[in-house]
Amino acid sequence: MLVGLSINAIDNPDTEFRRVGGKLFNKETKFILRIALLSNFKWIARKLGLKLIPSDITKFFMGVVKDTVNYRLENNIQRNDVLDTLMKIRDETQENEGKLTIGEIGAQCFVFFIGGFETSSSTGTFVLYNLVKYPEVQEKLRNEIRTILARHDNKITYEAMQEMKYLQMVVDETLRMYPPVFQALRQAARDYKVEKDNFIIPKDILVSIPIYAIHHDPEYYPEPDKFDPDRFNDENKAQRHPMAFLPFGHGPRNCIGFRFGLMQTKIALIQLLLNFRVYASEKTPDPIKFDPDATPLTSITDMWLKFEKL
């Protein structure tokens, strides 16, 4: 559901939303190059008329948001969702308080859409990849899921998922190895002295926090290419620097959708593992080669896996 629309991309894979989301991240759009140019050479990029989001995507998305806002206003519809909240904020603020424009409402909806579009499905895919390579982990995880669900009337509830500690460890270790968002950006609000290295980050400079590199630093994760969910048991987690694990960023601008993202990834994995055993096929990449033009982190080849019905 986005802005209160029923999209249903599973039964209808040709839906415009899926096409638009796919287009934003595909090679032709050069999204990563656009981000690099607009963040590092803003002035030149603006002079060249470069936009972060291609115009046809903006046009489609703004059209959907405007139509939905108007429809709700005309028909007095309330759905208690993100769009309702944004409309309420707009109504309750005065012009001089920075009233939200329809463009800003559309931008907020859009960032929710792209933030949740590839990240959760990539995480699920990388988890399955790890489970194929480590079948003993797959069995252990399936046993945990079955045992806990049996205690919960075989219903996948929030409470049942909270009990699935091993599932969380498997997902965390996968997010460590394959963080879909592999860097976070920050702009220095003032000159900042890094005491340890006697180094100043000047005001306004853009800083890239290399999430992928931190997650593969042997100082924090010995044998970083090895998949080992036990790195995320309570004891091991407590011993590590808290900033050594940043799949959702950190601080006031961290991922706003991280609980939702984790939840939908876990629901998909639980359903799949209850119903299928997953294997490698001769086409499964090993190791995964990343697409240098893609964001989020993506395998350059398709991810082929075999599913056997249980």
Binding stretches for ligand HEM (CB under 6 A): 111-112, 115-116, 119-120, 123, 180-181, 184, 247-250, 253-258, 260-261, 265
| Nearest approach, Cβ of residue 244 and ligand HEM (Å) | 15
Tokens of 24: 């934003």
- Give the dihedral of Cα atoms 152, 155, 156, 158; nearest 10 deg: -60
**Are 128 and 170 contacting, i.e. CB atoms less than 8 angstroms apart?**
no
Q: How far is CA 227 from CA 96, 129, 178, 267, in A?
A: 53, 11, 11, 22
Q: Is 209 exposed, middle or buried (0-12, 13-18, 19+ CB in 10 A)?
A: middle
- C-beta closer to ligand HEM: residue 121 or 306: 121
| Nearest approach, Cβ of residue 34 and ligand HEM (Å) | 17
If phi > 0 it is left, if psi is from -120 to 50 it is alpha, else beta; for residue 204 that is left
- C-beta closer to ligand HEM: residue 42 or 151: 42
**Are 213 and 197 contacting, i.e. CB atoms less than 8 angstroms apart?**
no
| Nearest approach, Cβ of residue 212 and ligand HEM (Å) | 11
- C-beta closer to ligand HEM: residue 21 or 249: 249
Side chain identity at 56, as an amino acid letter?
D
**Cα separation, 128 vs 281, whole angstroms:** 13
- C-beta closer to ligand HEM: residue 15 or 108: 108
| Nearest approach, Cβ of residue 147 and ligand HEM (Å) | 25
| Nearest approach, Cβ of residue 185 and ligand HEM (Å) | 7
User: What is the dihedral sign for C-alpha 172, 169, 165, 122?
Assistant: positive
**Are 105 and 90 contacting, i.e. CB atoms less than 8 angstroms apart?**
yes
Q: Which residue is nearest to ligand HEM (CB)?
A: 249
Q: Which residues contact 185 (CB under 8 A, 6 or more apart)?
A: 39, 206, 207, 208, 209
- C-beta closer to ligand HEM: residue 193 or 253: 253
The reply to whether 109 sits in an annotated binding site is: no
| Nearest approach, Cβ of residue 57 and ligand HEM (Å) | 17
- C-beta closer to ligand HEM: residue 29 or 295: 295
The CB density around residue 85, as the number of other CB atoms within 10 Å, is 11
**Binding site, annotated residues:** 255
**Binding site, annotated residues for heme:** 255
